[in-house]
Amino acid sequence: MRSDAKTDRATILALLAERRDFVTGVELSRHFGVSRTAVHKHIKKLIEDGYAIESQKGRGYLLRPGQGDAFSGDGISILLDTKWAGRNLLFKDTTGSTNRDVMDLAEDGAPHGTVVAAGHQSAGRGRKGRSWQSPVGSTVSFSILLRPDYAPDTAPMVTIVMAMAVMRALKKVTGLETAVKWPNDVLINGKKVCGILTEMNVQGSSIRYVVIGVGVNVNIEKAEDFPEEIREKATSLYLETGEKVSRSRVTAECCNAFEELYDIFSRDLDLRSLTEEYNSLLVSAGKPVRVLDPKGEYTGISGGIDRLGQLSVKREDGETVRVSGGEVSVRGIYGYV
């Protein structure tokens, strides 16, 4: 065999993905300079790895991208429809934190759009340092690197952009209706299916880089698989659909949607072109909310966000305020009743 088996499998997979039709074993054998027996062994291993490859006598092999659960760098790459998001992609079977991995790559000069995805993340974090534990083999964990030229006070809005991208992606992959709890918790049927953490490195008055981490509960099969403290608040795509969902496709579609939305955001440097879509999916719109302001909690009726991503809340005393940070609890969501 002229090269290592892993490289041969990757090149066979790439050709099948490009062709999007049946390719005979003879053609694969000639194209890559390996025996038909070797081709068959590579195809068998790809199927074992979770790739949905159909075999028909006399016609050869057909890859069905986005089916099966082949969560890998190749599985993601063949589904990308982007110019920069995920084009520099690193996949790890397991890692501590994809955000940390991307930060390390950023320090080494990695380009805008670099993505690290992992099959398992052992030390993920949520907002305020909360732990994010993902069961092995059932979640999507990825982070993307941005190298923007806007001011640091603009960067927090990219979290909302990513939340919108995730909602678009999940709707496309599963057909499920999604909603968002301001600013970035993605919900299905009132339960959290995705968390997003944005971190920024600033030097002086300039941003060196921004890293956005995404964790999606995909193929968690039982509510009991969630930690007890979040069991009533969390869900997964499997629990909502009753079917296994391709983690590679979820990751790729998130990148596809994010690139499109981020390019719009980068043109405006605010959310003016995205607020209508976001507000149509905002779970708190017109509902009672409790704002956990460090200066003192208060309740009111939630409106939508403005072009800066601030949430409008009409307080009980009649004053309308703009909430730019902190926790906002929605009545009927996460136990606020």
Highest average pLDDT, of 36-50, 93-107, 115-129, comes from: 93-107
User: What is the chain's mean pLDDT, rounded?
Assistant: 88
What confidence score (pLDDT) does residue 134 get?
A: 57
In angstroms, rounded to a whole number, what is the distance separating the alpha carbons of residues 298 and 289?
8
- 234 beta partners: 192
Answer for the pair 90, 77: CB distance below 8 angstroms, yes or no.
Answer: no
Question: What is the three-class DSSP state of 119?
Answer: strand
What confidence score (pLDDT) does residue 239 get?
A: 95
Stretch 234-241: mean pLDDT = 95
If pLDDT is split at 50, 70 and 90, which confidence band does 2 have? very low
pLDDT over 70, % of the chain: 91
- pLDDT per residue over 245-266, tens digit each? 989 999 999 999 999 999 999 9
Written in H, E and C, the secondary structure of 13-56 is: HHHHHHHCCCECHHHHHHHHCCCHHHHHHHHHHHHHCCCCEEEE
Domain extents in the chain: 5-63, 73-280, 288-330
What confidence score (pLDDT) does residue 244 get?
A: 87
pLDDT over 90, % of the chain: 58
CATH architecture group of domain 5-63: Orthogonal Bundle (1.10)
For the domain made up of 288-330, give the CATH fold: SH3 type barrels. (2.30.30)
- Domain 73-280: which CATH number of 3.30.930.10, 3.30.465.10, 3.20.20.70, 1.10.30.50: 3.30.930.10
What confidence score (pLDDT) does residue 206 get?
A: 95
Helix H segments across 59-156?
73-77, 98-107
- Secondary-structure percent of the chain, ordered helix, strand, coil, rounded to 5: 35, 30, 40
